[in-house]
Amino acid sequence: MNLYKSTLPIPLVLLTVTTGWLMIGCSAGASTTRYLVNEADKMVGMEVTYREGSQEYSHPAALTPEHVEKFLQHIEVHPSSLLDRIVGGSSTAQEAFSEEQRKFFSENISKAFEEASPLEIITFYSAIPRGNGIWEITSGGMYLEDHELHLVLPNYRYTVPATTSPQLPRTNPLRALGEPLHSLKSVDPVRQVTHPLAKELWTHQTPHFILPLHDLDNIKIPSKSPHGPPSNSTEPTRKSSSQRLKNLEELRKEGLLTEKEYQHKRQEILNQL
């Protein structure tokens, strides 16, 4: 159902949304998230999205809170429909994230980037009560590929009834609850794209943004060259591979990787030595 053009009464719309949300909850698997902050109304963590043979991310990385806030400040929410405004939208374009949200996310997401392995996406969640028995859910993920910072928003201010405990998007923040209710647009230098990964993790309608970091200083990003550094730099390579193997072992012990995934990635790292 396209909620942008829905003419159904609001209670019926919410009932439909709730039914779909519950169906998703019944089919959702166990969480693969390591939590940095895990509170009832907000969360920041690191979720394993690696599957056998998939590409690694450029984590860990030393991003500052300013890098993350710069990203969030360059995304706007635009009016899209009457329903949008009824459930909390505006008739004019506004910053998508409030100052309070930007402060919480930027401080904690930057910390998560320092801890995340190359196999994990940084995930986040926020639930805000809006009165009339409604919660607004925002959840998604951020990851780094070389010098491009990515943001995906499967759920942005998505409404669910307060009588339904909004736990699913907190434990599965990359799973879309339904079609988006709001129109999001990027402001330069952030650009909006459609990424092939969206077909695997998100719906084709999931907003996906990229912030190039080439012009920003003091960002330490590990090399992702599959061939490793030149032969006269074998010692740094061994140290890097040793740390990757340790991270891999930790993820397996925590049950975030299957044995098959662990063995595949372990052999891949050893082959690069």
Write the pLDDT tens digit of every residue in 69-97.
Answer: 999 999 999 876 555 555 555 567 899 99
Please check whether residues 20 and 145 belong to one and the same domain.
yes
Q: Which residues contact 125 (CB under 8 A, 6 or more apart)?
A: 42, 43, 44, 137, 138, 139, 169, 170, 173
Please check whether residues 16 and 75 belong to one and the same domain.
yes
Q: Is residue 225 part of a domain?
A: no
Q: Is residue 221 part of a domain?
A: no
pLDDT exceeds cutoff 80 at 101: yes
Which of these three, 180, 212, 244, is where a domain ends? 212
Please check whether residues 188 and 239 belong to one and the same domain.
no
The stretch 130-156 carries a mean pLDDT of: 90
pLDDT digits (tens, 9 = 90+) for 182-228: 889 999 999 998 755 555 555 567 889 999 987 555 555 544 433 33
Verify cis geometry, omega within 30 degrees of 0, for the bond prior to 60.
Answer: yes
Average model confidence (pLDDT) across the chain: 75
What pLDDT is recorded for position 75?
Answer: 96
Domain count, the chain: 2
Please check whether residues 132 and 261 belong to one and the same domain.
no
Please check whether residues 142 and 41 belong to one and the same domain.
yes
Q: Is residue 96 part of a domain?
A: yes
Please check whether residues 170 and 263 belong to one and the same domain.
no
Please check whether residues 93 and 204 belong to one and the same domain.
yes
Which of these three, 183, 212, 241, is where a domain ends? 212
pLDDT band at 147 (very low <50, low <70, confident <90, very high): confident
Q: Is residue 76 part of a domain?
A: yes
Please check whether residues 143 and 178 belong to one and the same domain.
yes
Domain span at residue 98? 3-212
What pLDDT is recorded for position 3?
Answer: 31
**Of the listed ranges 47-56, 133-142, 211-220, the one predicted with least confidence:** 211-220
Please check whether residues 266 and 186 belong to one and the same domain.
no
Q: Is residue 161 part of a domain?
A: yes
Please check whether residues 167 and 260 belong to one and the same domain.
no
Please check whether residues 124 and 235 belong to one and the same domain.
no
pLDDT exceeds cutoff 90 at 65: yes
pLDDT band at 17 (very low <50, low <70, confident <90, very high): very low
**Of the listed ranges 14-28, 116-130, 257-271, the one predicted with least confidence:** 14-28
Q: Is residue 224 part of a domain?
A: no
Q: Is residue 245 part of a domain?
A: yes
**What is the distance between the terminal CA atoms of the chain, rounded to a whole angstrom?**
52
Please check whether residues 138 and 251 belong to one and the same domain.
no
Q: Does 224 or 272 have the greater pLDDT score?
A: 272
What pLDDT is recorded for position 9?
Answer: 39
Q: Is residue 95 part of a domain?
A: yes
